[in-house]
Structure 1
Amino acid sequence: MSLSGVHGALSNLKLCQVDIGTGMDIVTDVAMDLAEAQDEGGMAGIKEIEAMVLECAKLDREINCFVDIVQQVTAEVSTQQPETMVDLSAKVRERFTVKIARLSDAELYNHHKVVAFKESIKNSSDQANQESAEATEESDEEIRVTQSQVNFICPLTQVEMLKPMKNKKCNHHYDEDAIMSLIKTKQKQKKKCRCPVVGCGNADVKQSDLIPDQVLRRRIQSQKRHSNPM
Structure 2
Amino acid sequence: MSLSAVLGILSSLKSCQADIGTGMDIVTDVAIDLAEAQDGEGHPGIKDMEAMILECAQLDREINYFVDVVQQVTSEVTTQQPEAMFSLSDKVKEQFNERIARLSDTELQNHQKVVAFKDSIRNSLNQANQESAENMEELDEDIAVTQSQVNFTCPLTQVEMVNPVKNKKCNHHYDEEAIRGVIKARHSQRKKCRCPVVGCGNTDISESDLIPDQILRRRIQSQKRQSNRT
Instruction: Report the TM range for the smaller structure's normalisation.
Output: over 0.9
Match of 2:203 in 1: 203
**Which amino acid in structure 1 is aligned with residue 13 of structure 2?**
L
Q: Distance in 2 between matches of 1:94 and 1:136?
A: 57
Corresponding residue for residue 226 of structure 2: 226
Structure 2 residue matching 1:166: 3-state secondary structure? strand
List 4+ stretches of structure 1 deviating above 4 A: 136-139
Q: CA deviation at 1:106?
A: 3.3
Q: Is the 8 A contact 1:34 1:42 kept in 2?
A: no
Per the alignment, residue 6 of structure 2 pairs with: 6
Shift of 1:150: 1.9
The verdict on how the C-alpha distance between 1:136 and 1:14 changes in structure 2, with shifts beyond 3 A counting, is: closer
Q: How many correspondences in the alignment? A: 230
RMSD: 1.6
Return the TM-score normalized by structure 1.
Answer: 0.95
What corresponds to 2:113 in structure 1?
A: 113
Q: Secondary structure at the residue paired with 1:106?
A: helix
Q: What are the ranges of 5 or more consecutive residues in structure 2 without an aligned counterpart?
A: none
Q: Deviations over 1:21-80 (max 9, x none)?
A: 000000000000111112269711100000000000000000000000000000100111
> CA deviation digits over 1:102-126, x for unaligned, max 9?
2223321010000000000001111
2:76 equivalent in structure 1: 76
1:132 Cα deviation from its structure 2 partner: 1.9
- Matched with 1:187 is 187
User: Which secondary structure state, in structure 1, belongs to the residue aligned with residue 211 of structure 2?
Assistant: strand
- The amino acid across from 2:109 in the alignment is Y
Q: Distance in 1 between matches of 2:52 and 2:179?
A: 28
* Partner Cα distance (1:125, 1:118) in 2: 11
Q: Which moved more, 1:152-161 or 1:17-26?
A: 152-161
Q: Give the counterpart letter for 1:56 in structure 2.
A: C
* Inter-CA distance 137–88: structure 2 relative to 1 (3 Å threshold): closer
CA distance in 2, matches of 1:126, 1:94: 46
Comparing 85-94 with 125-134, greater Cα deviation is found at 125-134
TM-score under structure 2 normalisation?
A: 0.95
Structure 2 CA distance for partners of 1:146 and 1:200, relative to 1, 3 Å: same
Measured after TM superposition, the shift of residue 90 of structure 1 is 1.0
> Tell me, what secondary structure is at the counterpart of 1:185?
helix
Paired letter, 2:116: A
Displacement after TM superposition at 1:149 (Å): 1.7
Q: What runs of 5+ residues in structure 1 fail to find an aligned partner? A: none
Q: Contact between 2:163 and 2:212, CA under 8 Å: does it hold in 1? A: yes
Residues 17 and 52 of structure 1, relative CA distance in 2, 3 Å threshold? same
Identical counterparts, % of pairs = 73
1:91 aligns with 2:66: no
